[in-house]
Amino acid sequence: MRSNQQRLMGLVLCLVTTVSVAVPTIQHWNTKNGATVYFVPTQGLPILDVQLVFDAGSARDGEKLGVAALTAAVLNEGAGGLTAQEIAEQLESVGAQLGVSASRDFTSISYRSLTDEQTLATSWAVFKKVLNQPSFPLKEFKRVKQNTLLGIKRREESPGTLAQLALYKAMFKNHPYSNAIKGEEASVNDIHKVDLKAFYKQYYVAKNLLVVVVGGISREQAEQLTNELLLALPSGKEAEPIKPVADLKQAENLHQEYPSQQTHLMYGLPVLKHNDADYFALYVGNHILGGSGFSSRIVKEIREERGLAYSAYSYFHPMVEKGPFLMGLQTRNEKAAEASAAVKGLLTSFIEEGPTEKELIASKKNISGGFALKLDSNKKLLGNIVSIVASGAPLDYLNTYLQRIELVTRKQIQNAFKRRVDMNQMVMVTVGQTATEK
Amino acid sequence: MKKRLVLFFILNIFFVLTAFASSENQATMVHQKVLKNGLKVLVKEDRRAPVMVSQVWYKVGASYEYDGITGLSHVLEHMMFQGTENLAPGEFSKIIAENGGRENAFTGADYTAYFQTMEASRLDVSMRLESERMHRLNLQEKEFVKELQVVMEERRLRTEDKPQGQTYEYFKALAYTSSPYRNPIIGWMQDLEDMKLADLAVWYKRWYAPNNATLVVAGDVKAANVFKLAEQYFADIPMVKFEAVKKRIEVPQLGIRRAIVKQKAKAPYILMGYKVPVLNSTKNEQDVYALEVLSGILSSGGSSRLASNLIRGTQVAASVSAGYDMNARLPTLFMFDGIPAEGKTAQELETAIIEQINQLQNAVVETKELARIKAQVVASSVYEKDSNFYQAMQLGMLETVGVGWEKESEYVDKVKAVTAEQLQAAAKKYLIEDHLTVVHMLPQSEGVKQEVTSAQ
């Protein structure tokens, strides 16, 4: 099940008015070597979830585009004297799971295991080796690199992927965010095993690490486990700030001809960092504009009124440096012009007039009434806490969220959209076949 | 959340070993009540968070359709949001949204299901709305014309413009002869174009009734209260008299089937499938659980055979997986799919997969290897308790395909009981060439233009 709203990501939380939802208290401490650990104990299930978040996303690639993603992909392919096969066997022999992935801002290692002693001991030992002693075996490195190159080639099978890549290039110009997370054919070809080792050595260090622990263990256990996991990791230093994203000087329209039946339309411009002062106004506003599925203007107009698209959406994606406002849909080629005019019209009038009072009330009801759903599983709890700590939001974020949503006014939304979403700086990308309406 | 989606079986083949809740934990007991009009109500209480999920499952889906009307169940699912006697088009969604709810629906080959997840005290809101659309749908031409366009866009997105998606359609149509599984869930484009509002009215009248539905509620609710609300909202909906669903059993396959599908793709892709039974089609449960574990031996986790031997070992595959849906309503396929590594061909990958099957037929699986699969199933059965939605979904699905929700509690023990000898016997009995269908998707040479131009 794909979902648009899940991509809203970030900090989509709020408190509920009518029901008291137990908002977890986030405990935290620092390890001796400088990593920060955040912990929420849960009850009811013998499951432990851990996520390690390094400030080591593809924005850190430098010249070697794709090196962050490739380092992540090879990390658990050999470590501490274990082969890739042995790592997988040991984890799977107790049903534990370990995965590594990179985004533009972060590299994350995700771990899930049952909490009985034997299982924890087995899976934690492997986790520890993968984190502290990855060996990046040449054979596995070469294979994963080849498969990465094949994946890069296969982007061209997807008009949606091509549109997104072109949009990020145009929105972020020569900023590292402009690059594809997995890099390009030429850059990946030029990545060698030593590059992975160097990347690991520089960025997989304690001071560059946030650890989130959620599950059915005690504080004492959490401290003991994280100490065991992390204390061998060099302190290192925090990664340098990445450079700011420049505002766009002018609007840009880009088209790529592609032999598909649909044209993919994507719009965007860089707008906001994490914890932006306008965030709540922009978030609630976007909820009304294109962030709440069938309650939103974009879906009502593009899908429900005109039957132009299966999926149509807009969202803000705050990042460490200015992340984008994004809007998109896909429609049959001959309707691309109509859809484009309609969606741009919706945005223009929203910026000009803002939402109605009725829309604002309805969206607040939806956000606050749905608060409990955001925290109803360990998995979701983990995801939310990772968002909070990785973005640097205050730890009482969940406790104050509803108030901040409630305080948002129509005027603030209109004002924030006017200042922050400038149509004269928007990039529009279309990928599809040029066609005239029948 | 995006509404009205089609569940493709192709998705399932990446999720091997769908493990169920364990019988060991009595706390997760299921409560059942059947109303006088035949509506079955299942409740699973879970008090970890003050939320609930409510799902209504109907015994109808793409495998109930026949030539010329493919895609009807799915389009009807879309129309279920487009107005009833007492609700304007879109009003259902609006009410759910104002109550802080999330909702969606999905259509599969064997079921159509609707759900809301909400703060637990709002259960009556979802029940009231679901009861309304169970018997008072207002099918309107204007909404239908528009919604059909939406479904066609959905089809273009998922199939026409997705080389592997389209290849899977051709694959199914080749593999099945008389089984309704040969048709795509979303329907052939021509059938969508020919669809009439009257077709939907007939379909709705025929299948949407309390005695063809199961209501499943999981979360912070009390069973007695759920039953009371169910009585209140659903008891007055009249039963419908059903004729037995036609069996449409797949005719025996009498030899390997092959095809090539050319696509504007950048890498080849293969699909392979062997005809196999499912829980609902055979008394021989042991074979079904053996096939389930076999799919785990082949492709559950990084240590399983396909990853170990074909991705890491010989490096013939960039990706490859096996999958088997033991909970289909009708006999199905034991599937493989994969992308050859750069420089390798579809044929080389096919040969390598066959070699893996031969090994399973010629030698028993090691004890340690089998234990690893079982450990994963046991762990998954706990992980799945983290999701109310998933638990409700398992109950609803098992009940709707005919297996019965009670089977859920047997899953872990039955998997644990599978022996290495049974695995070998199942591989020999079912993974045989005469019952195999193979499709190679081959990239066409025609390239995609790379240039990006500045447009007006």
Residue B153 within a domain: yes
Contacts of A365 in chain B (CB under 8 A): 97-100
Q: What is the DSSP string of B274-297?
A: EEE--GGG-S-HHHHHHHHHHHHH
CA distance readout (Å), A356 to A288, A359, A366: 9, 5, 15
| Residue B28 DSSP code | G
Q: Note down the domain range covering B277.
A: 257-443
Residue A137 CA to residue A146 CA, distance in Å, equals: 14
Average confidence (pLDDT) over A379-388:
97
Q: Is the pLDDT of residue A355 over 50?
A: yes
Q: In terms of Cα–Cα distance, which of A65, A54, A197 is closest to A136?
A: A197
Phi, psi of B363 (to 5 degrees): -145, 145
Q: Are A5 and A177 in contact (CB under 8 A)?
A: no
Residue A7: the pLDDT is 32
B2: which chain A residues are within 8 Å (Cβ-Cβ)? 1-4, 293, 310-311
Interface with B, mutate which of A40, A42, A314, A373 (most B CBs under 10 A): A373
Do the domain assignments include residue B251?
no
Do B89 and B30 lie in a common domain?
yes
pLDDT surpassing 60 at residue A357 = yes
Binary contact (B385, A372; C-beta < 8 A): no
Could you give the strand order of the β-sheet that contains B317-323, starting from the edge strand earlier in sequence? B257-263, B436-443, B269-276, B332-340, B317-323
Say yes or no for a CB contact (<8 Å) between B119 and A330: no
Q: Does the beta carbon of B106 lie under 8 angstroms from any beta carbon of chain A?
A: yes
Phi and psi angles of residue B46, each rounded to the nearest 5 degrees, phi first = -150, 110
| A4-13, A18-27, A150-159: segment of lowest average pLDDT | A4-13
Helices (H) and strands (E) in chain B, counts: 16, 13
Same domain, B343 and B411: yes
Contact B455 A373 (CB under 8 A): no
Residues B341, B399: one domain?
A: yes
Cβ-defined contacts of B91-95 (< 8 Å, 24+): B92/B129, B92/B133, B93/A293, B93/A294, B93/A295, B93/B3, B94/A294, B94/A295, B94/A362, B95/B125, B95/B129
Chosen domain end from B234, B266, B297: B234
Number of domains in chain B: 2
Edge-to-edge strands, sheet with A323-332: A312-316, A323-332, A262-272, A427-432, A252-257, B452-454
Give me the percent of chain A exceeding a pLDDT of 90. Answer: 93
**In whole angstroms, what is the distance from residue A272 CA to residue A268 CA?**
12
Pair (B189, B331) in one structural domain: no
Res B445: pLDDT? 67
Task: Note the pLDDT tens digit of each residue in B7-64.
Answer: 433 333 333 333 333 333 444 699 999 999 999 999 999 999 999 999 999 999 999 9
Query: Does B192 fall in a domain?
Result: yes
For B381, nearest residue in chain A (alpha carbons): A95
φ, ψ for residue B258, nearest 5 deg: -135, 150
Spell out which residues of chain A touch residue B266, defining contact as CB-CB under 8 Å: 153-154, 156-157
Cβ of B33 under 8 Å from any chain A Cβ? no
CA neighbor of A90 nearest in space, from B364, B302, B299? B302
DSSP annotation of B66 reads -
Query: B44 with B148, same domain?
Result: yes
CATH number at residue B143: 3.30.830.10
Structure tokens at A251: 């609007």
CB contact (8 A) between residue A154 and residue B315: no
State the pLDDT at residue B455.
58
Q: Which of B45, B77, B103, B399 is catalytic?
A: B77
pLDDT (0 to 100) of residue B30: 97
Instruction: Please check whether residue B27 touches A, CB under 8 A.
Output: no
Contact present, A315 and A240 (Cβ < 8 Å): no
Q: Which two tokens stand for residue B233?
A: 């909202």
- Quick check: is B245 in a domain? no
- Say if residue A152's pLDDT is above 70: yes
Please name the residue of chain B whose CA is at the shortest distance from the CA of residue A371. B100
Residue of A nearest to B376 (CA): A95
Q: What is the pLDDT of residues A299-325, one digit of tens each?
A: 999 999 999 999 999 999 999 999 999
Q: Is B77 a catalytic residue?
A: yes
Residues 351-370 of B with CB under 8 A from A: 368
Closest CA of chain A from B246, distance in Å: 30
Which residues are within 8 A (CB) of A254 and not within 5 positions of it... i.e. 6 or more apart?
Answer: A166, A170, A427, A428, A429, A430, B452, B453, B454, B455
Question: Cα–Cα distance between B278 and B401 in angstroms, integer?
Answer: 11
Residue type present at position A93: S
Does residue A104 carry a pLDDT above 50? yes
Specify which residues B34 forms β-bridges with: B40
C-alpha distance from residue B242 to each of A71, B34, B111, B179 (Å): 59, 17, 16, 21
Same domain, B224 and B272: no
- B121 contacts on A by Cβ (under 8 Å): 18-19
Do residues B430 and B278 lie in contact, with contact meaning Cβ atoms separated by under 8 Å? no
Query: Which among B234, B268, B297 is the end of a domain?
Result: B234
Q: How far is residue A260 from each of residues A165, B161, B448, measured CA to CA in Å?
A: 17, 6, 10
User: Where does residue A140 rank: exposed (0-12), middle (13-18), buried (19+ CB within 10 A)?
Assistant: buried
Token readout for B228 is: 């009371």
Secondary structure (DSSP) of B125-183: HHHHHHHHHHH-B---HHHHHHHHHHHHHHHIIIIIT-HHHHHHHHHHHHH-SSSGGGS
Residue A138: is it exposed, middle or buried by C-beta count within 10 angstroms (0-12/13-18/19+)? exposed
Q: Is there a contact between B303 and A89 if contact means CB atoms under 8 Å apart?
A: yes
Determine whether the interchain pair A256/B342 forms a contact, defined as Cβ–Cβ distance below 8 Å.
Answer: no
**B390 and B292 share one domain:** yes
Which pLDDT does position B452 carry in this prediction?
A: 65
Last residue of a domain, one of B174, B203, B234: B234
Does B240 reside within a domain?
no
What number does CATH give the domain A23-230?
3.30.830.10
The model's pLDDT over A180-221, given as tens digits with 9 standing for 90+, comes to: 999 999 999 999 999 999 999 999 999 999 999 999 999 999
Kindly state whether residues B53 and B158 are assigned to the same domain.
Answer: yes
Cα Rg of chain A, angstroms: 23
Q: Report the mean per-residue pLDDT for chain A.
A: 94
Pair B37, B127 in one domain: yes
List, for chain B, all residue ranges whose pLDDT scores fall below the cut of 70.
1-28, 445-453, 455-456
What pLDDT is attached to residue A23?
87
Quote the CA–CA distance of B28 and B233 in Å, as a whole number: 26
Supply the pTM of this predicted model. Answer: 0.93
Which residues on A lie below 8 Å from B102 (Cβ)?
370, 373
From CA A419, how far away is CA A281, in angstroms rounded?
A: 12
Q: Which residues of A touch B51 (CB under 8 A)?
A: 372-373, 376
Range(s) within chain A of domains with CATH label 3.30.830.10: 23-230, 252-432
Helix (H, G, I), strand (E, B) or coil at B76: helix
**In this prediction, does ipTM exceed 0.90?**
yes
CB B214 within 8 A of CB B111: no
Q: B312 and A19: CB-CB below 8 Å?
A: no
Class of domain A252-432: alpha beta
